[in-house]
Every structure is written in C-alpha cells, then in structure tokens.
A and B are shown apart, each in its own frame.
Chain A
Amino acid sequence: MERIEHTFKGMGGPCRLRLEVDTSAAADTAIAAAVAEVQRLELKYSRYLPDSLTSRINRAAGLGAPVPIDQETAALLNYANTVWRESAGLFDLTSGVLRRAWDFKSGRCPAQQELEKLLPLVGWERVQWDQDNVYLPERGMELDFGGCVKEYAADSAAAKLRQQGVSAALVDLAGDMAAIGVPEGTSGWPIGIRHPVSKEQAVARVLLPEGGLASSGDYERCIVIDGERYGHILHPRTGWPVRGLVAVSILAGQCLVAGSSATIAMLKPPGDALDWLENLGLPWLAIDADLVVHGTMA
C-alpha cells in the first residue's frame, strides 16, 4: 500500500487528496479525475465566473425567459428546497444578494435602508423551477450555490476516486471532507478540527470513517464594531448577521448533508442551535461566542 497526497487549488481554497493505492501509476488517473470533477463543479456553479450556469441564471432574472437546466442542477435545486423546508426558511439560496450591503473588509455596518432595498429580492419560495428550467422572477434576484456546492464537490470527487478503483481516500476541499474507505489497519481518517481562534490548536480529533465532515465557521470573516461581533452569516429575513454559534462541525453519511446541517445550526439562535444539534442524531461539535465547546465530538 502506498499513501499518496496531492494538493491543488479549487473552490476558492486549498484542496488536498489523500489516497491509499497499490501502485502510484493507477493513482495518477484517479487524481486527475477527482481534480477535474472539482473544477467542473466550480466552472458550472461559481457566481464569480461570468460563463457559469449560476451567472446565466442570475443574468436572466426578471427578463421573462426561464433558463434550461440539467438533471444535476435540478437535483441540487430540489436538495436546496429540502434544506430550506427543514430549516424553516433559514437556509435560502437567494439570500446571497444581502452581501452586496455588507463589506466585511470595510469595518462598517450597512445602513438599514440599504438592507431594506435588498430584502425583497430574497425569497426562495418565489423561485420558479422544475426538472428542466429555473427562473428568478425579479430583476436583481440571485441564486448562490455557495452554501452547498463545495460540500457536494467533495462527495463527487470522492465518488470519482471510487469509480477509478481507489478503495481508500480522503478529499479535503478547504475543510469540507469526504472519505471513501479507511486507511489500512485503522477505523477512520484522523482529522483535527481547528480551534476558531488559535488556529494551530485542534479543538477535537476525530476519526472520519466513510462519509463526510463539514464545518461552518463565522470567526474568520467578521467585523467587530464597538466590541460587537458581526459575522458573515446573514439572516435571510433581517439581512443582519446571525448572532449564533461561532463554529459548527458535523459528521454525516455525505459531506453535503453534514455541511447543510452545520449551516442550519449556524443560522439558529445559539440555544436553539444546540438543542437542534443534540436532537439531530449526528456526531457534532459546536463552539459558542464565549468559545465554549459543545457536542458529542468534543
């Protein structure tokens, strides 16, 4: 057994593949397929790339013509709809427009008026979609797959590795991880969950068996005004940062499910979020604003 590591840039961050293979020759094809899969999803769904499907959907908003979509996108919209429903509307693919009002580098809060102008553009329930088309009914509305595509890409890259005959591998897309198999002689991939403040320190060490581990954190991108923390996770109905947990990590069968669950927890008020995580039945770890660590993985 050979252990091979490959790093690359993708989905706006550092990515790493770890593989256990018989021969490194077979690994090259597998790695190429996994990297290509991450790039494919980035090119297709990034809202920063003008030719992406997401950009085309957003440009067509309010113009009267639905945009044709493929089966994968329809399934992704269907999934987003499930998360929206399960989170009672907190997870909303259209809430990305609110970021136009928030510039986390500027160190200032937007005026309430700015937010009032954007809030009418938020509303997943207004998006018209079916298996073949999607349409945003108002000019200025936007879809942002950022809340689920990186996690989905981790799972999909892992699936590519498996299709290439790799039996044990870990895909790590800037902290969102998907594993197939386990390293020989172990019961899982050893993963340290980083402390949100002291980055070099691990809050917890877990063994990730086949499945996914995703983290959602609010500590890195935030502004502090008069001692008050404003994180980058915005409430879809107020437009203001949610005053919730600081970091959540969840382990699930799929990185996608782990990621959406972590995002839902981040969007809830801290007390509700901890109850919700407790009841979810998945291994979890959360850090509150006082940097107290909670959860079954703590």
Chain B
Amino acid sequence: MSRPKDERNKTVLALTSSALLLPAYQGALADAQPEFTEVGMRYSKYDEDDILSRKAFGGGSERYEIDVAQFHLLAPVADQWSFALDVAWEDMSGASPWFVGESASGSPKVIMSGASIEDTRTEVSGTTRYYFDRGNAGLNYTYSDEDDYTSNAVAVDGAFNSEDGLTTYSAAVSTSHDDIDPTQGTIPTNTLSARKDVNSVWVGVSRIVSKRALVRFGLSYTYRDGFLTDPYKGDDRRPDERKEWAASAGYRHFFDAPNAALHVDYRYFNDDWDVQSHTVDIAWEQNLPQNFRVTPFIRYYTQHEAEFFYNLEDPSYEYFADDYRLSAFGAFSYGLRLRHDFGDWSINLDAERYKTDESWGIYSGEESPGLVDFWRYGIGLDYIFR
C-alpha cells in the first residue's frame, strides 16, 4: 500500500531537519570565528572614457582615473572573536564636469574642470566581531581622509540564525559625520567649509530553501542631512536633506552538473528627491577543474532624474543640479571575475565595462552630456596562514 506523495518524504524531512540541528551540519552555515589569519592585497584601476568633443566645450577631454590599493587582514583573536583591518589608498586624478553650458547650436555641453583635480584618499577601517552559537555581531569604525574631506563612521551589525539553521536574520545601523573643506584652486567652489551627517538602518533575511537554493530580502533607509551639494560643481544647489529607501531581493541556485551557481539580484531605490532606480544583477559562478572559478556577470541599471535636475541653470529654481549622476539614464555593465586557489594562496582578477546612455533607461528625461562610460579592472592576492 502506497502512501500519498506528500507523506512520502515526511520522514526524511523530519529526520533531516532534526539532524541539521547537530553542530556537524552547522559549520557551513555560520557562526564560528575564522580559524586562520587571512591577508589580502588588491590593486584596481577605475578609468573613465574621454568625454567626446561634441559633448564638451573646448574639445574632448580626459576624465577621471582612480588607482586603488587595498590591504585586508582578518584574524581570530581570543575565543569567539575576530578582528579585521582594512586599509585603502586611492589616488584620483583628471577632470570632472564643472558645469553644463549651452552651445551655439542649443545643445547642452559640459565644461570640464580641466586637469586640476589631484587628490588622494586614505581609508582605515577596523571591525571586531563576536561569534556566538546562533549568530555573530560586529562593531566597525571607519576613518577616511582626503585633502578636502574627512569622514568618521561607526556601524553595528548582527546576524542571527533560526533554530533549524536555515534562516538568517540580519540588521545593521550606521552613522557617519563628514567634514567638507573644498580645496581652493583653479576653480571656484561653492562653499568654504561644510558638514554632512549620514544615518542608515538595514534589515535583511536570507533563507536556504533547498539544498541548492537560497533567497534573501533586504530593506534599508538612509537619512542624509547637511551639505549635500557638490562643492566643485558650478551652481549646484541641492536640498540639505535626503531620505532614501531601498528594497532588495536575491536568489542563488547551485547546479550540480555544470558545478556552477546562478546569482540573480534585484534592487529598488527611491528617495525624496524623486530619484528612483532599478538594478538587476545576474552572475554565473562557474567552477572549473584545478580550482579555477570564472564568473561572467551583467548588470542593468536605470534611474529616474531628480526633480531639480536640469542641464541649464535658471536662477529662479530653488534647487538646481546638472550633475549627470542625478539625470535620467540607463546603464549596462558586464565583466568577468576569475579566481584561482592554489594551496594557501588565491588570486583574483576582474574586469568590468560600464556604458551608459539616456535612451537605455525606462524613464525619460533630459540627457546629460556628462554621462560617463568607464573600465574597471583589478588584481588581488590572498593568503591564509594555516
């Protein structure tokens, strides 16, 4: 006599979910301090395409380049604690859009700042984390300093696993206090000194829905208060408050036969400046023999313009910004990540191409001549002291 199908696996389900409470099956899920010290170094380069001469006064111009070097250390300390230190050095140079003017033909063109910007930024971040049976909690302090900007940020986060170990609840709060002291140089700035505070909260839940699949959801709220204007951009006048909401969802699925995992992520963003955006990320993590992993990925991003975005200024506007980052546009980026593990070492290579266009977006708006395309590439090396 056969039992109905639903009941069929009830025993297996009961045994499995009860077995998974045993410590041997929880190692993979969480929450033990790292066993070994890990160190990593990474170098990456961000390189904006030259702006086309038809979009800028004074002909084509080189844009921004950023060289980034990063150091990472994660070490177990005492019982159930870990400490992580992250240091990043950035060297930024090149020109960025200063303001948008009207050309003789009536189309907006960008006036570039000239090769006047040269800045370095150093960021030091320390995180201490406590691991307990069913989760972990971390405290982070980050200090960032560049010629014209200092930032101090503190964040607290925690993750808690359900009794069956299949669901993880996470939350984080962070606060940062930034001081802006624009460098007085070849271009005039619109403030001499200003402050900005950013506070945000985040909650998330992820659940292992089967042996091979995981879903996650997140919600965040960020409140910015203070000088939110770009000090180097012409007549930029922005509200001194910004309230942002974001919701995200993700799905991971592991496939046995190709030995690969599919990642699909979506994020919705909305703020009280009338900016809305959608981001879709798709990645395929392919494991290959000899401990190689190659991950092609593609991302689509589309954004609604801020209510005070205009290419051309009118003094009657209460608020005004010609910053392309607040315009309506769509962007595609695609790239490849490559990882190879050998013994206690692993090497990571990645390259990404980002291209943007007003017509690729789902929201229409004035096209900014300042929209940027860029390349990003990086190389990293990690070592575990076993």
Verify B15–A185 contact, CB threshold 8 A: no
Number of interface residues of A (CB under 8 A): 42
Please report whether the interface of chain A is mostly helix, strand, loop or mixed according to DSSP. helix
A270-295 contacts to B, CB under 8 A, are 275, 278-282
A239-274 contacts to B, CB under 8 A, are 252-254, 256-257, 260-261
The answer to whether the Cβ of B256 comes within 8 Å of any Cβ in the partner chain is yes
For A78, list chain B residues within 8 Å (CB).
Answer: 18, 21
The answer to whether the Cβ of B315 comes within 8 Å of any Cβ in the partner chain is no
For residue A17, give the distance in angstroms from its CB to the closest CB of chain B: 16
Verify A279–B2 contact, CB threshold 8 A: yes
The answer to whether the Cβ of A22 comes within 8 Å of any Cβ in the partner chain is yes
For residue A138, give the distance in angstroms from its CB to the closest CB of chain B: 26
Verify B22–A184 contact, CB threshold 8 A: no
Q: A26-B386, A279-B8, A281-B12 are in contact. Are A257 and B343 (CB under 8 A)?
A: no
Verify A86–B14 contact, CB threshold 8 A: yes
Q: A152-B22, A280-B8 are in contact. Are A82 and B14 (CB under 8 A)?
A: yes
Closest residue to A185 on the B side, CB-wise?
B289
A11-68 contacts to B, CB under 8 A, are 22-23, 25-26, 29
The answer to whether the Cβ of B342 comes within 8 Å of any Cβ in the partner chain is yes
Verify B19–A256 contact, CB threshold 8 A: yes
Verify B19–A254 contact, CB threshold 8 A: yes
Verify A75–B21 contact, CB threshold 8 A: yes
Q: How far is the CA of A198 from the CA of B359 in the complex (A)?
A: 75
For residue A182, give the distance in angstroms from its CB to the closest CB of chain B: 9
Verify B27–A26 contact, CB threshold 8 A: no
Give the total number of A-B pairs whose CB atoms are below 8 A apart. 93
Q: A75-B21, A79-B21, A162-B28 are in contact. Are A254 and B16 (CB under 8 A)?
A: yes
Number of interface residues of B (CB under 8 A): 35
The answer to whether the Cβ of A95 comes within 8 Å of any Cβ in the partner chain is no
The answer to whether the Cβ of B186 comes within 8 Å of any Cβ in the partner chain is no
Verify A279–B3 contact, CB threshold 8 A: yes
For B343, list chain A residues within 8 Å (CB).
Answer: 22-23, 25-26
The answer to whether the Cβ of B105 comes within 8 Å of any Cβ in the partner chain is no
Q: A26-B386, A254-B25, A280-B9 are in contact. Are A163 and B35 (CB under 8 A)?
A: yes
Choose from B15, B291, B384 the contact partner of A83 (Cβ within 8 Å).
B15
Verify A261–B25 contact, CB threshold 8 A: no
For residue A14, give the distance in angstroms from its CB to the closest CB of chain B: 21
The answer to whether the Cβ of B23 comes within 8 Å of any Cβ in the partner chain is yes
B339-357 contacts to A, CB under 8 A, are 341-344
Q: A253-B211, A279-B2 are in contact. Are A260 and B15 (CB under 8 A)?
A: yes
For residue A201, give the distance in angstroms from its CB to the closest CB of chain B: 30
**Interface code B217-252, partner A: CB below 8 Å = 1, 0 otherwise?**
000000000000000000000000000000000000
For residue B292, give the distance in angstroms from its CB to the closest CB of chain A: 12
Verify B15–A281 contact, CB threshold 8 A: no
Q: A75-B21, A78-B21, A79-B22 are in contact. Are A280 and B28 (CB under 8 A)?
A: no
Q: A159-B28, A185-B289, A275-B1 are in contact. Are A76 and B22 (CB under 8 A)?
A: yes
The answer to whether the Cβ of B316 comes within 8 Å of any Cβ in the partner chain is no
For residue A271, give the distance in angstroms from its CB to the closest CB of chain B: 10
For residue A224, give the distance in angstroms from its CB to the closest CB of chain B: 33
**Interface code B4-44, partner A: CB below 8 Å = 1, 0 otherwise?**
00011101101110111111110110000001000000000
Q: How far is the CA of A282 from the CA of B10 in the complex (A)?
A: 12
Verify B12–A261 contact, CB threshold 8 A: yes
For A81, list chain B residues within 8 Å (CB).
Answer: 18
Q: How far is the CA of A23 from the CA of B11 in the complex (A)?
A: 41
The answer to whether the Cβ of A209 comes within 8 Å of any Cβ in the partner chain is yes
For residue B267, give the distance in angstroms from its CB to the closest CB of chain A: 32
Q: How far is the CA of A159 from the CA of B24 in the complex (A)?
A: 6
For B290, list chain A residues within 8 Å (CB).
Answer: 1
Choose from B3, B25, B386 the contact partner of A29 (Cβ within 8 Å).
B386
The answer to whether the Cβ of B118 comes within 8 Å of any Cβ in the partner chain is no
Choose from A25, A75, A261 the contact partner of B22 (Cβ within 8 Å).
A75
Closest residue to B27 on the A side, CB-wise?
A159
For B2, list chain A residues within 8 Å (CB).
Answer: 275, 278-279
**Interface code A145-188, partner B: CB below 8 Å = 1, 0 otherwise?**
00000001001100100110101000000000000000011010
The answer to whether the Cβ of A200 comes within 8 Å of any Cβ in the partner chain is no
Verify B342–A22 contact, CB threshold 8 A: yes
Closest residue to B3 on the A side, CB-wise?
A279
The answer to whether the Cβ of B307 comes within 8 Å of any Cβ in the partner chain is no
Q: Which of A29, A76, A79, A187 has the most CB of B within 10 A?
A: A79
For A159, list chain B residues within 8 Å (CB).
Answer: 24-25, 27-28
A residues lining the B interface (CB < 8 Å): 1, 22-23, 25-26, 29, 71-72, 75-76, 78-79, 81-83, 85-86, 152, 155-156, 159, 162-163, 165, 167, 184-185, 187, 209, 252-254, 256-257, 260-261, 275, 278-282
Would you list the 3 A-B pairs with minimal beta carbon distance, nearest first?
A156-B24, A82-B18, A281-B9
